[in-house]
Chains A and B, each alone.
Chain A
Amino acid sequence: MPEYQVLHEKARSFYPRYTRKAEAQHQTHYCPGCGHGVTHKLIARAIDELGIQDRVVLISPVGCSVFAYYYLDVGNVQVAHGRAPAAATAVKRSRPDSIVISYQGDGDLAAIGSAEILHAANRGEPVTVFFINNAIYGMTGGQMAPTTLIGQKSTTSPFGRSIWNEGYPLHVCEVLAALEAPVYLERVALGNSKQVMAAAKAVRRAIENQVRGLGFSLVEILSPCPTIWKKNPVEAQRWVREEMAKVYPLGVFRDRTKEAEPRPAPAPPPALGDLPRILEIGDGAGEALPPLPKDPFADHRIKIAGFGGQGVLMLGEVLAEAGLAAGLEVSWLPSYGPEMRSGTSNCHVRLSTRAIDSPLVAHPTLLLALNEPSLRKFSATVEPGGWILYNGDQLPADCARQDVHVAAIPFTRLADRVGDARAGNMVMLGALLEITGLLPEAHIDYALRRKVKSERWLELDRRALAAGREAARQGVTHAS
């Protein structure tokens, strides 16, 4: 029997022994008087009190507390410098029942990880962040932190932090308090026992908020670093109380714990068997269409070009969809990006009875030129014996070729008469089908129904197709 009574025992959420140091497994690696050890204890105690040890995942940062996982007997993830809020976000999103705690120092959170903390807070991630502010980089040996006080010397501000060179100390709680989403933001200090008791309450509240399903909670802890500050622990605590707290006022910066609503739980996942339907890969397409009459070999290499907005890509998609429905091998390759939004747009379509080697069409058998620049750019590349369909009354004289067929039809103007100039692509398609017999009507109509969701447009496109066929039949073509 011990001759003493245990009033405060070690928290159950701590490991019984700390293997960080082989020779002293009852000690942490933190220096005497360091605030990390105290904060760890407050966290472990809160976990005990809330009875959530089996749910906690702790995200350790880079800094002196990189080894937090040696002490807290919970799920442990150690991440890259500054990125703990990103990792915490993902753990919480995939495992909403986990209680996710991000533990970060001032370099980690307020310098290199400033984007991650800002956005996690702004998204209102329902995680808990403990932010240790000791105004210095401890682990790397005393360099300046974003929270270093003005005039404070460090190894990288040897003449003292200057507002002209390094700017002002960064006030994390004040910055985050400008955001809508955070539920709880408080700054506490470890400057004396009374402050530690207040910090214990804040730590517990920040974790409890998460247990209650509320949003983002952060506690900033002004914390002594006697070793780097070159002070004894008592002097270091005094410095926290008297110097740091002057620059970083203590208090609650946000408390919406009463009115905040828990984030809605995600919908239960669908059954695996339902996924093909959700992904639209089931046999829903299954419309019976007659296959093409057996052609021993067909290999259509089509280039479609025009201004953005003329429906160049759409025309190509309809051809490719219809070709696939007809049992052909198909490919569709667009010019993409900013080209889609201004200037010229083009796409390459191949329809073939054989496997398609290259989807790139350098020498088309069919060129569909919806404007003059496209005609000028590509007319010389058309295979001898191929076709050029041009959106105009006639080809400019200098684009004429004797070795290809040409159909010059004012497709856009015809579309305008049908009801909308934007259907010029479908007028052109109608003419193409009439002239070449490339694909049967039924397959084109099937493709249109797949691509065009608006009834009004589907009707318009059908009329445009008919107008194109009619124009081609009337012999507006000029075969050279």
Chain B
Amino acid sequence: MARQLIKGNEAIVKGAILAGCRAYYGYPITPASEIAEAAAFYMPQAGGVFLQAESEVAAVNMLFGAAAAGVRAMTASSGPGISLMQEGISYLAGAELPCVIADITRGGPGLGNIAPEQSDYHQVVKCGGHGGYRTIVLAPDSAQEMADLTMLAFELADRYRNPVMVMADGYIGQMMEPVEFPAEARPLPLHSWSTDGTPEHRSNLICSIELQPDDLERHIRKLEAKYQRAEREEVRAEHYRTDDAEIILVGYGIVARLLKSVVERGRALGMPLGLLRPITLYPFPVRELRRLSRQACCFVVVEMSTGQMVDDVRLAVEGRRPVEFYGRCGGNAPSAEEIFAFVERVAAHPAEALLEEVADA
């Protein structure tokens, strides 16, 4: 199959339809609108539903209805819209409804701006809605992965009967790269648990309410068991030259692309740099980081925010090694040069950094 030059946002829609998605409900927002536009164009032709909702609140509840009816469905938005969807995502997780939600992140807080930022990590990965639930979160770093991970997202959503988020920054959404799509579309799944009026389906109540504390605890424990299974089975991360690396860079999305050029620059100068790129932000690659913490002398986390994922890296490393942070925000991407300069400073004084941590402890 030929590779085609395509925007990340458009690749999401084509991947979704190939994966059997037949309903899209959304509300326009920069830098995610091309997803709605592509869905408006392709979804009806593919025999699916496209509807521009009156708000993100309505859109996420339409997703709830479509999923309840057993249809593979998705929506997409950016930071402020995702904030509005959080209540609905909690309901979806509570009712165990599979669906896919893409967040093409932009600058915040508030209206912020439309330039790329990675400051949605907390609300997406830690789940901004109410109650004890999780969503699986996939973080593409290329247009190709926008398609591939969206397709994977639908599989995981069904496997776990849970919403799955695809989180990419505005750059990944807006940029065009060659993408190769699978030659065949997947058949539409049959959902034995979905509801309609027929005798075989109408005992399938779709709801998220459990009035009795014992019943609700049982339900929450069941959800928790699913998440623990995902933590065992679904972790994905890219190792880039980590085999002999002593300084491990950690970043996702567009930042990981920058970090690859930082690794190359360092290697050319004989610095033992490597990159760990989390592809699943939840479940987080804890074991991978823990293993690397035995070989590496320190970690450098880079994000386009003031530091959110860095907390998860610190938890995974458990204080065995210093974890340094470099971030840019407001819609600015760090340059490979400035990241490299930071890494050089860290490399020059790793021991001191470690000593400081020990002294603090």
Inter-subunit contact A75/B197 (CB<8 Å): yes
- Report the Cα distance A250→B333, complex, angstroms: 62
* Most interface-central of A52, A75, A273, A337 (chain B CB within 10 A): A75
Pick the 7 closest A-B CB pairs, nearest first: A269-B47, A90-B65, A87-B65, A78-B207, A83-B61, A86-B61, A357-B260
Question: Which residues of chain A (248-304) have a CB below 8 Å from chain B?
Answer: 266-270, 272-273, 275-276, 278-281, 283, 285-286
| Given A57-B195, A275-B46, 18 extra CB contacts under 8 A | A54-B199, A75-B196, A77-B65, A78-B208, A78-B209, A90-B25, A90-B49, A93-B51, A94-B71, A95-B196, A115-B55, A116-B58, A281-B4, A333-B171, A336-B114, A336-B174, A337-B30, A359-B171
Inter-subunit contact B206/A76 (CB<8 Å): yes
Nearest-Cβ distance from residue B324 to partner chain A, whole angstroms: 21
B185 touches A (CB below 8 Å):
yes
Q: A93-B23, A278-B45 are in contact. Are A332 and B69 (CB under 8 A)?
A: no
B interface, size bucket: 35 or more
Inter-subunit contact B170/A360 (CB<8 Å): no
Minimum CB distance partner of B66 in chain A: A90
Inter-subunit contact B65/A281 (CB<8 Å): no
Residues of A within 8 A of B170 (CB): 336
B-to-A contact residues, CB < 8 Å: 1-5, 14, 17-18, 22-23, 25, 30-31, 42, 44-49, 51, 53-55, 57-59, 61-66, 68-69, 71, 73, 87-88, 91, 95, 114-115, 170-171, 174-178, 181, 183-185, 187, 195-199, 201-202, 204-209, 254, 257-258, 260-261, 264, 333, 335-337
Minimum CB distance partner of B113 in chain A: A337
Nearest-Cβ distance from residue B303 to partner chain A, whole angstroms: 15
Inter-subunit contact A334/B65 (CB<8 Å): no
Stretch binding the partner chain, chosen from A162-170, A323-331, A396-404, A409-417: A323-331
Residues of A within 8 A of B198 (CB): 54-55, 75
Q: A330-B178, A358-B258, A360-B333 are in contact. Are A94 and B49 (CB under 8 A)?
A: yes
- Report the Cα distance A319→B4, complex, angstroms: 14
Nearest-Cβ distance from residue B277 to partner chain A, whole angstroms: 12
Nearest-Cβ distance from residue A342 to partner chain B, whole angstroms: 14
- Report the Cα distance A70→B91, complex, angstroms: 19
Nearest-Cβ distance from residue B238 to partner chain A, whole angstroms: 12
Inter-subunit contact B45/A270 (CB<8 Å): yes
A interface, size bucket: 35 or more
Minimum CB distance partner of B54 in chain A: A119
- Report the Cα distance A317→B71, complex, angstroms: 36
Q: A336-B114, A362-B337 are in contact. Are A278 and B42 (CB under 8 A)?
A: yes
Question: Which residues of chain A (74-130) have a CB below 8 Å from chain B?
Answer: 74-80, 83, 86-91, 93-95, 98-99, 115-116, 118-119
Inter-subunit contact A91/B69 (CB<8 Å): yes
- Report the Cα distance A236→B294, complex, angstroms: 74
Residues of A within 8 A of B58 (CB): 83, 86, 115-116, 119
Residues of A within 8 A of B14 (CB): 279, 281
B205 interface neighbour in A59, A78, A115, A269, Cβ under 8 Å:
A78
Inter-subunit contact B18/A90 (CB<8 Å): no
Residues of B within 8 A of A78 (CB): 95, 205-209
